[in-house]
Amino acid sequence: MRSTTLTGGLIAVLVVAACHKMTALSWNEMDAMRPGQVWVTYSDQTVQEVSGPKRFGDTLVGYIAGEFTEIPTAQIKQVTIREPARGKTVALVVAGTAAAVGIAAFMAGSGLFGSSVDCFDQPEHPDCLNGT
């Protein structure tokens, strides 16, 4: 049971990771898209999430950790947005389905889920006579 839970958790993590990608935006794209949140990479490589971003001239304004912040665009190296990664998601679903079918086929052929006859109660049953 523990391995099933662990496997399910691992699959959930992979699905979440595969469903999104980070894409760099130009200022014009950001103005046109008006995203609800962006990730700002500064010149020193630090990254902060900005909610409700808007550009006013040479300043990006928005909320960082709930606090209104103004960031001069000269300090910003890159602005990215999280968006769906359809190709990765489809590949993950196909691979997961193939793995599930393979595991089910293996388990069905392994004999683990074969006869459910109790040979103590029915010793004359054919499955009990064959020694399985």
Tell me how far apart the alpha carbons of residues 81 and 88 are, in angstroms, rounded to a whole number. 17
pLDDT tens readout for residues 43-77:
899 999 999 999 988 999 999 999 999 999 999 99
Tell me how far apart the alpha carbons of residues 39 and 19 are, in angstroms, rounded to a whole number. 18
Contact 39, 50 (CB under 8 A): yes
Question: Is the backbone of residue 19 left (phi > 0), alpha (psi -120 to 50) or beta?
Answer: alpha
Q: How many CB atoms lie within 10 A of CB 63?
A: 14
Where is 90: in which H helix or E strand?
Answer: helix 86-109
Examine the domain organization and report whether 47 and 60 are in the same domain. yes
When pLDDT is averaged across residues 36-47 and rounded to a whole number, the result is 93
Domain boundaries, position 112:
1-19+85-132
For the chain, the domain total comes to 2
